[in-house]
Structures are given as structure tokens and as C-alpha cells.
Amino acid sequence: MQGLLVAGRYRLADSIGSGGMGRVWRAHDEVLHRSVAIKELTAALYVSESEQAILLARTRAEARAAARISHTAVVTVHDVLEHDGRPWIVMELVEGRSLADAVKEEGRVEPREAARIGLWVLRALRAAHTAGVLHRDVKPGNVLLGRDGRVLLTDFGIAQIEGDTTITRTGEVVGSVDYLAPERVRGHDPGPSSDLWALGATLYTAVEGRSPFRRTTPLTTMQAVVEEEAAEFRHAGPLAPVITALLRKDPATRPDASEAEQMLAEAAEGRRPSGAQAYVPTQYGGTRPYQEAHSGTGPAGTGSVGTGPAGTGPVGTPSASHTRTPLPPLARTPAIGTPASGTPAAGTPAAGTPTGRPTMLGRTATGPRQSGSGRRGRLRTLALVVALAAIIGGGTAVALQQWNDNRQTPGAASGSTTPKSTEVPGGSVPDGWTRRDDPAGFSLYLPKGWKRQLYGPQGELKQIDYTPDGGRHFVRIAVDTSPDFADPYAHQLDLEQQLQRLVDYKRLTLKRNVYRDRNGALWEYTWTAQAKDTKFPGPRRAIEETYVARDGTEYALYMSAPASDWATARKQFTSLLQGWQEKTSS
């Protein structure tokens, strides 16, 4: 089939992978003149007509699932088409190999590298779960390792989309048996924790070089998944307790995505995650939930691991899981040193997130939050918080109203040079600015005429933009009620790693500060936005103030504008900070 022209557009080159359901080809898009990957559903050649309809429905579901997820760690689906009566999927081409191939070729993966890989897969899963999509087939073969250091999750072919009727038949088990969570083997409906189980099994395979539950037959393998524990670790190092936590049989006792991300971030730095130890059975046979171990509120006499070495762990530090307060601070360096993969697609909302955010989403790739190390789970990872990635497209940063804000109004005395101002609790704002009480609960002052719009999915992480000109200038407010970092400075450092892919990225400022009597961090940088990513290409500049309020909510106030307008934009940002009021309890 090499050389075949599919759909009059895609010229097949060489086969780069195959599996039970199909074969993946490297191909050339002769319309857009770019390399792509095409998945050929070979299974359609061997099934009945009725089964072909189901296969086609699954293929379309895969495309829909992938299309709902905006994150740089998820392989982009470009098109779905039919050729020779079979469905084909056109995807982003990732030059590299799968994690399964890496394990096969090298025997196993070093623990810190496996933790880094796990972080990106977790970010992709958080983005998917936030979009209402369960992957249901996380395994080493579906984790791609790009030659440029990127890690991407692919093959949403059996994904389940929230609200859709399942296309699998009653009683049918889908997914690779080795990586099915116990609850799925028992026939229960899967949830986000089922994907996390599969991630744990995938990481076990990566560091130990073998599947944790594979036996001689599918039936005995499923029995092992339900009844047996994984064989003792020999090479997992600091990753061992994290994998143990993810592989707990009861989904209710597994860590959530936010906790898992925190643990993986520590393991990626070569540290043994203290929080993960709370999930590991002790000599007394008991365990204690991660959040209780860190808050000191767990029941007495549980026979569980304490709150840290010699009882000096982060006692009293709130957990990020269910209390909606920040996790204990991570190291003040990025959790991983690999830039986020991918770049924002054209037409992305107001900010061309590389997501997020790192647009990634936490702030996602370029946004102030990313689907980040601790936040990866909440989508900042979509986190995507302020979606710094958005900056690429110039989507949300503070837009500068009319560039006359500080000028006199018609008829004003020609000698007047000092603009009037309005006193507000945080200082003063230019006269003529109006207070906006946002539905998200906060309030701010802006020039008249700025329009509100939502950026990305709205869950625990909300991102709201205000712009006077469709995104050329904009302000983005990110509100994360369950942040992954307790330290705004560490969060921004982590996000910066994801922005290294921006053309001409240059840090101007990234420092700790105090804002509204709370520890904060101020970050300012420049880059060159590309025409393929935004309607407003050219040199841009952005600034962000991030802080964690007393109730544990993280706020990121972000502004972006063309570099040529920065003198005005910077003054407006100061006024924005002075007039800002966070949500108060009712």
C-alpha cells in the first residue's frame, strides 16, 4: 500500500506501527504539505457488515474524544475519513517511539525519567477527564515519546465520552487486559480513578520491565488483577510508593489526580514522595488517606504511616485533594525540566494555548497555570490556569481599553495633565473605569467597553478573559479552588518550563513578592507570536501576578498586549491590581 493516495489527499509512505485493531502509516498531506500519521483500521477487513458499523462508530468516537481535549500531551486528531469502505484517522505525526518500544529495546526506564513520563500522561488524563472523556486504554503502547522530549497520550479509540451512549455491547470488556482496573474486570462502570490505575500499571512496566499482572492467559491475568498484588519492586526507587498508591484495589482509596501529580513531581526530582507512603500498607496492616496524613485530622489508632520523617512532616499543611486548599509546597524549581510539547492550534480561544497549558491547560502551556505539576489533575493541566499558552495566541491578556484612558476627555482643560482617579480598597484606579462584578465571585475595575468571555473548560479551574478588541489586548483571571502548588513562585517556575517553546521567549522578571498581605509571585516576559497561532502576530509582552488566598484558592491575574503598546498596558495592569477584589464568603 506504500504510495497509495488516500481520500485524494494523503500519500502513504511507510508503516510506523501496528496493533490488533489497525496499522499506523507515515503519510504526506498533499494539500497542506505536511507530514501526518494515518491510522488504518485493518480490523474492518475481518468483521461482518454489522461489526463494521460498530467499528466506524468507535472511530468517530475516538475523533470526537480527542477533539474535546486541548492539551499538548494529547496527540491531535486532524481528520476522520472513509476509504475503501473503512475508517481512517489522520493524526499529528510524533517522531519517536512508544514507551512499550522503549521498554522492549532497553529493558526498563530509569525511575526519574519514568516519573517525568508519568507526569505528562497524568496531565493528559486530567485534561481528558475535565473534558468529560475517560481514556480506558492507558498502556505503554499508547504513550509516545517524541525525539524532542515530548510525551503524548494517544489512541482514544475506546474512550468513553460523558453523556454519550456506550458503543460497546453489554458485558463487553474493552482495553488491554493487563492494564484493566479491578473494578472494570468486575464489570463496574469505570471512572477517572480507573485511568489512574492503568497509569500505575504502565509505570510499573516502565521501571520493572514487565507487566505487573500478566499471566499465561487473559482469564488468569484478570484474576491476578482482582486478587493479587503486583510483584515486589526491584528497580522502581522513589517511584515505588507512587505506583503502589495508584494500584490500590479499591478505587475510593487511590489518590486523586492532584495528589498523584504531586507525588510524581517529587519522584521526578529523585525524592521519595512522603505523601505516597500514606497509601502503603504498614506493619500494622493499615493505611491512611493522603489528605488525612498531611492535615493531621485522620482518626487515631489507624496504624498508618505518620506525617513525615520523625513526625516532622507537613503537619497542619492542608491537602489539595478534598479540602480545596493547597498541597504542601514543592521544590522551588520546575517539577520537570522538559518543555511542554506541541504548540497551540490556530483558532484556539483568545490565547493560542500550547496547553493546558502547558495550556496543558493548569494554566495550560502558556498560561499562568498549566495543567502543572501539582495541578495537572485539576486542569490547570489544564491546569490550564491562566493558560499562559494562551499568550501565544494573545487571547486573554489584559487588553488595553481605548488607548485614551489616561487622556483628558473632550472639553477638559488643556493644561490638565494629571488624570483623575477613583479610590478603591486596594488603592486607586483611573477615573472612568467601571467595577465589574464577575459571576465567578470576584470583582475588578476595567475601562468601559471591555467584553467578558470564558477561556477553556470551567471546573475547579476557572479562567475568565476581558478584552476590548477581540484578544489583541486582554486580561485573564484564573481562579483555581484546588491548586496543585501552595507556592506561587514554584508554580510559575514550572509553567515557565512549558513556555520555552514560544518563539523568542525571554524572561524579564520572575520573583517572589507580597500581594494583599499574601505570598505571591510576579512574572513578566516577552515572545514573538506567530501568524499560524493567532490573528495578532508579532512581538508581545505579558505579566502575571499569582497568589494564594487565605481560603486556599489560587488567583492568577494576567495581562498581555503587543510589545509596542506595553507602556500603556503596564500602567493598566497596576490599576487592575489596585482595584482587584477576590471572592468573599457570603
Q: Which of 311, 334, 349 is the last residue of a domain?
A: 311
Task: Please indicate, yes or no, whether residues 234 and 85 belong to a single structural domain of this protein.
Answer: no
The answer to whether the CB of 392 falls within 8 A of the CB of 366 is: yes
pLDDT in tens, 293-319: 223 333 233 332 232 333 333 222 223
Q: Which of 36, 61, 92 is the last residue of a domain?
A: 92
What's the total number of domains in the chain?
3
Q: Show Cβ contacts of residue 94 under 8 Å, excluding neighbours closer than 6 positions.
A: 37, 75, 144, 146, 150, 152, 154
Q: Residue 193 pLDDT more than 60?
A: yes
More confidently predicted of 238 and 426: 238
Whole-number pLDDT of residue 494? 85
- The one-letter code for the residue type at 417 is T
Whole-number pLDDT of residue 49? 65
Does residue 328 lie in a domain region? no
Task: Please indicate, yes or no, whether residues 238 and 299 belong to a single structural domain of this protein.
Answer: yes
Task: Please indicate, yes or no, whether residues 131 and 268 belong to a single structural domain of this protein.
Answer: yes
Tell me if residue 137 is catalytic. Answer: yes
Task: Please indicate, yes or no, whether residues 256 and 194 belong to a single structural domain of this protein.
Answer: yes
**Domain span including residue 546:** 375-406+421-579
Task: Please indicate, yes or no, whether residues 76 and 62 belong to a single structural domain of this protein.
Answer: yes
Q: What is the mean pLDDT of the chain?
A: 73
Task: Please indicate, yes or no, whether residues 219 and 278 belong to a single structural domain of this protein.
Answer: yes
Which of the four pLDDT bands, split at 50, 70 and 90, describes residue 143?
A: very high
Whole-number pLDDT of residue 427? 55
CB count within 10 Å of CB 106 equals 10
Find, among 181, 208, 207, 206, the residue nearest to 195 by Cα. Answer: 181
One of 29, 137, 533, 565 is an active-site residue; which one?
A: 137
Task: Please indicate, yes or no, whether residues 159 and 263 belong to a single structural domain of this protein.
Answer: yes
Q: Which of 92, 115, 134 is the last residue of a domain?
A: 92
Task: Please indicate, yes or no, whether residues 215 and 130 belong to a single structural domain of this protein.
Answer: yes
Q: Residue 391 pLDDT more than 60?
A: no
CATH number of 17's domain = 3.30.200.20
Find, among 373, 392, 327, the residue nearest to 531 by Cα. Answer: 392
d(CA 394, CA 475): 10
d(CA 33, CA 502): 23
d(CA 129, CA 71): 12
d(CA 160, CA 158): 6
| CA-only gyration radius of the chain, Å | 25
Angle between helical axes of 192-208 and 257-268 (0-180°, round to 10): 20
The answer to whether the CB of 361 falls within 8 A of the CB of 384 is: yes
Does residue 370 lie in a domain region? no
pLDDT in tens, 483-522: 878 899 999 998 888 787 889 999 999 999 999 888 999 9
Find, among 138, 248, 247, the residue nearest to 200 by Cα. Answer: 247
What sign results for the dihedral spanned by CA atoms 220, 222, 227, 231? positive
Which of the four pLDDT bands, split at 50, 70 and 90, describes residue 245?
A: very high
Does residue 442 lie in a domain region? yes
Does residue 562 lie in a domain region? yes
CATH number of 531's domain = 3.40.1000.10
d(CA 44, CA 29): 24
Whole-number pLDDT of residue 9? 93
Task: Please indicate, yes or no, whether residues 556 and 494 belong to a single structural domain of this protein.
Answer: yes
The answer to whether the CB of 396 falls within 8 A of the CB of 467 is: yes
Q: What is the pTM of this model?
A: 0.48
Task: Please indicate, yes or no, whether residues 85 and 132 belong to a single structural domain of this protein.
Answer: no
Task: Please indicate, yes or no, whether residues 551 and 531 belong to a single structural domain of this protein.
Answer: yes
Task: Please indicate, yes or no, whether residues 261 and 402 belong to a single structural domain of this protein.
Answer: no
pLDDT in tens, 73-118: 998 888 888 887 777 889 899 999 999 999 999 999 999 999 999 9
The answer to whether the CB of 294 falls within 8 A of the CB of 313 is: yes
Determine if residue 250 is left, alpha or beta; phi over 0 gives left, psi from -120 to 50 gives alpha, anything else beta.
beta
CB count within 10 Å of CB 510 equals 16
Give 108: exposed, middle or buried? Use CB within 10 Å, 0-12, 13-18, 19+. middle
